[in-house]
Chain A
Amino acid sequence: MSKAVKSGTAKPGSEVVKQEDVIVAILIADSFSIRFAPVTDLKPKALLPLVNRPMIDYALESLLLSGVQKTFVYCVAHADQIRLYLRESKWMRSASPMSIEVISQSSDDCRSLGDSLRDIDGKSLIRGDFILMSADVISNVQLIPILEEHREKRKTDKGIVMTHIFKKSFLGHRSRSAEEELVLAINPTNGRILNYQQSKNLKKLSFPLEMFKEHGLVDLRYDLVDTHISICSPVVLPLFSDNFDYQTWGDFVRGILINEEILNNTIYCHQLEGSYAARVSNISMYDAVSKDIIQRWTFPLVPDLNRSEETPRHTLSRHNVYKQPGVTLGKESVLEVDVVVGENSEIGEQTYVTQSVIGKRCKIGNNVRISNAYIWDDVIIEDECCIEVALIADGVCLKKGVQLGHGCVLGPGVKLAPGTKIPANTRLMASPPKSENEFEISDEEEENLPAPVSADSIGYVYHRPIEEDSDVESLVDELWGLEIEDDTESEEDDEDEADNDEDEDHEEDLEVGDLPEDMNARSFYNEVLESLQRGYEEKIKGDNLVLEINSSKYAYNVTMKEVNMLVIKAMLSLPSVMTKKGGSGTNDDWAALRPILQHFLPVLRNYLKNNQSMLDSLEALEEYGVNNPKFAKITCKVLHYLYGEDVLHEEAILEWHANPPNDPSAMTTIRKIVEPFITWLEEAEEESSDESD
């Protein structure tokens, strides 16, 4: 039994046996995003209250209930606060059956999941299989059986690195995050993940044909939601360390799948049956998960069953109304359905509350209407306010008659003067935004950012820093209010975060211009151009350049075809880039280009190994010629040279010429110019065939 494990390498095998005793989990207490800003400016996301309980509590509780014995909590932003919170909490008590160790790292050194796992690897804390989970995951999954399943699979597949947990949710489910739409290709017989693509915004997807050839059965799944819980083999950490470009889980999966043949690593998927898991990744997910908790999908992680020394139990009454002790309800006030009210809160007369969470020590006046709102601790809401679909952080004060539009987020300490009306989807914070742009001088700042909401209020409009995330992304959050009203599709307009991964899909668009449309391909092109230029100037060896280009390939996740095309284009444009002027259209161009090509022959030979890659490069050559008419004149020379150096084979050139060009204008330009070369080739071929006859 254990032989199968041990046969891989002797040492890890024995460690696996040892690790069987202690079940270890890593909890990443940072989401490396600013979705919750400005609320998260002063408080870490893990400590934000979710139905009157810090988010991290749910994660720890679910690990504890699963029987995990040791948890490493890895914190980055506001690490000291998390550490302090855990030290005071019941989790760190000696009698607790799950021991917790807090690891903190400054946010400069750790900007992504990848960074944190590399750091953990560096500390060499983990030797066996472990559970990797994000602190903002709410789940009631029993993880041990899945861990055992993972170990069981290793007996048949030694290359298993990860079992990732997915939950089935059909389209239109509230806990389907619009940002994380994904398509998986799974082998249904063993649950192996064959392909993973983030499908957001994509109208079409493409899958490699080999996948279908290799596996008799392939399931393409669009109904799965990533739970951000995975069971990892110990090898996951070194894999992250070896590949510095793995930033997110998605990078990792893609990397593993791409290198599958080389490293023989595999990832499996586990589909949840009858249990709940979801990640609070943005504010609309916060809303969805809160509702799921109130409606008890997360049982036993529900407000009436959790208690600690400092927070008494909620009591549950009809229609999912939860109240902590000390709640005062005014005359004729109504708590309609799905309402949670925290300790010692007061609700005034004729106030109507539905589908909302109210924190501790809140004071809510008379005739207030609250629906779909999340109100945290110590909030004061005076008479006749109207709140629909909002998130109100600690210590906010709304004076009489304030009206909030749909989807507003009020940061901690915001105070709004009587009668203020806030437009929909506004984010307010208590201190004026610090401008980091050096050109903005203070008086301009004054002019730009007065207390914008109204006089006598403390509240400044928060703008998401544009340089970090594209501003389109915020639309996801802004959709929040709308989604509740109607679930119809409005997801089209949300864009990706840092890395957009349209893969093969964009190939067709590449022909449009000289430079690729796709952001990834563009940055890849720039990087390649830079490496080539340096390589030429410093006379770096071809092999090293190939390595460099390959690593950029993985970093930007471009396809092989794009690599072939872009490398050729970069080489051709090198003379004009180096001399900072366009080609003269004379033979000087060829004189400049020839030594460059000569230098890069090993690189070219490396990439242009088969017919398809040669066709790609010829296509690139043609495109480059069409876009740079001056270059077109020397195309023939380039072709001849590459043919002479045996980089391009005769068959490829002829095949290319036989097929009509993608751009019709190429017919009159490039094709005409290369005509003599082609005829020469054809003649040569005839001659050779004559000879053989």
Chain B
Amino acid sequence: MPSLESEIEGIIETFTNNLKQRKFKGSRDLALNSVQLWKKIIGQMKWQNARELMDKIKEIGKDFQETSPSETVIGNMTRRMLKIVRDEYAMLQKGKQEDSDLQESLQKILTADEVDVDYSKNIPLLKPAIMEHIGEFLIELESSEIDISAQALEHIHANEIIMTIGYSKTVFAFLKTAAKDRAFQVIVAECAPFYHGHKLAADLAEAQISTTLIPDSAIFAMMARVNKVIIGTHSVMANGGLKAVCGTHTLALAAKHYSVPFVVCAPMFKLCPEYVCSLDQDGFNQFASPEEVLSNDEGMLVSRVNVYNPIFDYVPPELVTLFISNTGGNAPSYIYRLLSELYHSLDVQL
């Protein structure tokens, strides 16, 4: 038994270490890896009933979240695991799915008595059911990018001018799919000081899409001729606001000024049940080394100025026109509904 425990511990340690070393490329990679990790943990761990399992998931999940507080995806995946356990338990318990979610009314939400559900019953079939469900979820994750880009033709029309910022794998796939059938132009804001936009511009040009790279300061000037803004995001907050790469807010405001549709490609796993004004506000943004802004070599200057290099911007929901997720297009005001489908209300606070 201790060997089993230490084996799990080893898996967890490797994961947190990879997390620290930033080995995961993009949030989909991170989501996939963490779900695979959960699959291993749930498969190997000893547990008697759903309650015990959920407690353990919460405990480990909290630890992950602490390791990398700004990666909301990790928390989201933990919540998804808890939801899966709850769903499977309820189904096996009642013999039918707890499908109340979709029909839930405000009345029902308010009067709901969640405490009543007793998860301590030992159901032998629970484990295989959970594993199967996780497997399905993994497939959903893997195909999320394709599912999103499949909708590309509905949004991009011939001879349109699209603006985007930074580098998002989802957006790249989206544009590339659209380019198969339609000719359009892309303007990429370079996204200083990280300059991920350079990479996107190079990749798009390689995919035979006519691309223009502009500095961030030219966003407003260029906006007048843009038909649509399509961006990716780091995560979607509970109110439909965005936690996206620094510079996105500028872009969103410029788009609002010219009433240009502001479309966000966000797979479901990026939906986060937390609000921006939640308690641990400081975990929201992340500040990287100022090195990219001002080189550390710069002699006396370094000791005399304070340099900040934030990674994220918060974009309020009213600036967002549409979310394109792997299940279809949604308005920001509908996010709360999606969230209640994805996560259980008791798991929001880990």
Cβ of A669 within 8 Å of any chain B Cβ, yes or no, is no
B296 to chain A: which residues have CB within 8 Å? 167, 169, 276, 292, 297
Docked Cα-Cα span, A96 to B6, in Å, equals 11
Q: Is B12 an interface residue (CB 8 A)?
A: yes
B69 / chain A contacts, CB cutoff of 8 Å: 304, 313
User: Which has the most chain A C-beta neighbours within 10 Å: B289, B291, B299?
Assistant: B289
Question: Is A451 part of the binding interface, using a Cβ–Cβ cutoff of 8 Å?
Answer: no
Once A296-B288, A315-B280 are accepted as A-B contacts, the answer to whether A94 and B6 lie under 8 Å apart by CB is yes
Bound Cα distance from A95 to B8, whole angstroms: 9
Report which residue of B10, B291, B300, B309 has the largest number of chain A beta carbons within 10 angstroms of its beta carbon: B291
User: Which residues of chain A (67-101) have a CB below 8 Å from chain B?
Assistant: 67, 93-97
- Contact check, A95 vs B13: say whether CB atoms are below 8 A apart: yes
Q: Within 8 Å of chain A (Cβ to Cβ): is B121?
A: no
Cα A97 to Cα B13 with chains together (Å): 7
Interface magnitude class on chain B? 20 to 34
- The reply to whether A298 and B289 contact each other, CB–CB distance below 8 Å, is yes
Within 8 A of A (CB), among B13-66: 13-14, 17, 20-21, 66
Asked if A170 contacts B298 (CB within 8 A), the reply is yes
Task: Determine the distance from Cα of A297 to Cα of B287 in the docked complex, in whole angstroms.
Answer: 10
B285 nearest CB neighbor, chain A only: A316
Measured between beta carbons, the chain B residues less than 8 angstroms from A300 are: 20
Task: Tell yes or no: A664 within 8 A of B by CB.
Answer: no
Q: Is the CB of B289 within 8 A of A97?
A: no
Q: Does B341 contact A (CB under 8 A)?
A: no
Whether B17 and A97, one on each chain, are in contact in the complex, defined by CB atoms closer than 8 angstroms, is yes
> Among the interface residues B17, B295, B303, which one has the most CB atoms of the partner chain A within 10 A?
B303
Instruction: For B20, list chain A residues within 8 Å (CB).
Output: 64-65, 300
Closest to B18 in A: A97
List residues 273-320 of chain B with CB under 8 A from any CB of chain A: 280, 282-283, 287-292, 295-300, 302-303, 306-307, 309
* Nearest-Cβ distance from residue B8 to partner chain A, whole angstroms: 9
Which chain B residue lies CB-closest to A320?
A: B306
Q: Give CA–CA (A571, B268) in the complex, Å.
A: 89
In the complex, are the beta carbons of B289 and A170 less than 8 A apart? no
A337 and B308 CA atoms in complex are apart in Å by 13
Contact between B300 and A487, CB atoms less than 8 A apart: yes
Q: Which residues of B contact A315 (CB under 8 A)?
A: 280, 282-283
Interface assignment of A174: CB less than 8 Å from any CB of chain B: yes
Q: Is the CB of A319 within 8 A of B302?
A: no
Partner of B14, one of A97, A173, A297: A97
Contact yes or no, B17 A317, CB < 8 A? no
Q: How far is the CA of A337 from the CA of B299 in the complex (A)?
A: 21
Are A316 and B299 CB-contacts (below 8 A) given A95-B13, A296-B288? no
Chain A residue, CB-CB nearest to B283: A315
State the main secondary structure of chain A at its contact with B: loop
**Interface of chain B, main secondary structure:** helix
Contact assessment for A173 and B280 in the assembled complex, using a CB-CB cutoff below 8 Å? no
Which A residues, 277 to 323, have Cβ-Cβ distances below 8 Å to chain B?
288, 291-292, 295-300, 302, 304-305, 307, 313, 315-317, 319-320
Is B9 close to A, CB under 8 A?
A: yes
Residue from the list A95, A140, A173, A174 in contact with B10, Cβ < 8 A: A95
Distance in Å from the Cβ of B71 to the closest Cβ of chain A? 11
Kindly state the separation between the CA atoms of A316 and B286 in the bound complex, as whole angstroms: 9
A106 contacts the other chain (Cβ, under 8 Å)? no
Per-residue 0/1 for A172-205: is the Cβ within 8 Å of any B Cβ (1 yes, 0 no)?
A: 1110000000000000000000000000000000
In chain A, residues 490-545, which have Cβ atoms closer than 8 Å to a Cβ of chain B? none
Q: Is the CB of A291 within 8 A of B303?
A: yes
Closest B residue, CB atoms, query A61: B20
Q: Which residues of A contact B9 (CB under 8 A)?
A: 93-95
A170 CA / B306 CA spacing, docked (Å) = 18
The answer to whether A171 and B288 touch across the interface, beta carbons within 8 angstroms, is: no
A95 contacts B299, CB within 8 Å?
A: no
Question: Chain B's nearest CB lies how many Å from the CB of A46?
Answer: 22
Contact A296:B290 (CB < 8 A) given known A168-B297, A315-B282: yes
Q: Could you tell me the distance between the alpha carbons of A401 and B14 in the complex, rounded to whole angstroms?
A: 51
* B143 contacts the other chain (CB 8 A): no
Q: Does B120 contact A (CB under 8 A)?
A: no
Report Cα–Cα, A649/B13, bound state, in Å. 75
Given known pairs A174-B302, A295-B290, A316-B287, the reply for A307 and B66 (CB within 8 Å) is yes
Evaluate contact between A313 and B300: CB separation under 8 angstroms. Answer: no
Contact B289 A169 (CB under 8 A): no
User: Once the chains bind, are A173 and B291 in contact (CB under 8 Å)?
Assistant: no
Cβ of B282: which chain A residues have Cβ within 8 Å of it? 304, 315-317
B67 at interface by CB-CB < 8 Å: yes
Shortest C-beta distance, A57 to chain B (Å), equals 13
Q: Indicate if A275 sits at the interface (CB-CB under 8 A).
A: yes
A307 and B303 within 8 A (CB): no
A487 to B9, CA, bound (A): 50
- Given A93-B9, A275-B291, A316-B287, 12 extra CB contacts under 8 A: A65-B21, A97-B13, A168-B297, A170-B300, A172-B300, A274-B295, A288-B303, A295-B306, A297-B290, A297-B296, A299-B288, A315-B280
Q: Can you offer 13 A-B residue contacts whose CB atoms are under 8 A?
A: A95-B10, A168-B297, A169-B299, A170-B298, A173-B299, A274-B295, A296-B309, A297-B296, A302-B287, A304-B69, A307-B67, A316-B287, A487-B303
Residues of B participating in the A interface, judged by any CB pair closer than 8 Å: 6, 9-10, 12-14, 17, 20-21, 66-69, 280, 282-283, 287-292, 295-300, 302-303, 306-307, 309
* Closest A-B pairs by Cβ, 8 of them: A170-B299, A299-B289, A172-B300, A95-B13, A174-B303, A315-B282, A95-B9, A172-B299
